[in-house]
C-alpha cells in the first residue's frame, strides 16, 4: 500500500500544485495544535493557493478572533513546514460558512 506522499511524488503535477496539496495537508493534520483552543473545532482549513491558506469560519466572531491572531497562526503553520518548503504560508483568508455552527 502506498502512502499519499508516495503517490503525490509519482504524479506528474506542476510543483506549485504539489506544494499546495502538501500545505493543505499540513494545515489540516495539525489544525488543533496550530489554533490551540476550542476554535479549532468550529473552523477548518479549506484550500491553499499561492501562499494563502483559506480557512472556513462559522461567523464574524470567529473571523475577528482568528484575524487578530494571523501572525501567530502563520508562525505555527511554518513550524510544521519542512525546511525545504519554507516559507510556505504567507497569508490567511477567512470565509464564513454558517453550516460550521452545527458541527462539533
Q: For residue 47, tell me if it sits in a domain.
A: yes
86 falls within a domain? yes
B/e letters for 69-88, b = 16+ CB within 10 Å, e = fewer, are beeebbebbbeebeeeeeeb
Q: Is 6 part of any domain? A: no
Within-domain flag for 7: no
CATH classification at residue 60: 3.30.300
Residues whose CB falls within 8 Å of the CB of residue 79, separated by 6 or more in sequence, listed in order: none
On whether residue 48 sits in a domain, the answer given is yes
How do residues 46-101 score in pLDDT, each as one tens digit?
A: 999 999 999 999 999 999 999 999 999 999 999 999 999 999 999 999 999 999 98
For residue 20, the enclosing domain spans: 14-101
Look at residue 9 and tell me if it is in a domain.
no
pLDDT given for residue 104 in this prediction: 57
Residue 8 domain flag: no
pLDDT for 79 equals 97
Residue 5 falls inside a structural domain: no
**What confidence tens digit (pLDDT) does each residue in 30-49 have?**
999 999 889 999 999 999 99
- Count the domains in the chain: 1
Amino acid at each position: 500500500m502506498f502512502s499519499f506522499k508516495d503517490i503525490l511524488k509519482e504524479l506528474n503535477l506542476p510543483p506549485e500544485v504539489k506544494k499546495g496539496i502538501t500545505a493543505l495537508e499540513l494545515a489540516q493534520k495539525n489544525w488543533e495544535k496550530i489554533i490551540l483552543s476550542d476554535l479549532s473545532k468550529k473552523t477548518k482549513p479549506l484550500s491553499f493557493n499561492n501562499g494563502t491558506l483559506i480557512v472556513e469560519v462559522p461567523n464574524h466572531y470567529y473571523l475577528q478572533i482568528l484575524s487578530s491572531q494571523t501572525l501567530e497562526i502563520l508562525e505555527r503553520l511554518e513550524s510544521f513546514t519542512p525546511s525545504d518548503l519554507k516559507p510556505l504560508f504567507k497569508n490567511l483568508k477567512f470565509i464564513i460558512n454558517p453550516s460550521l455552527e452545527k458541527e462539533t
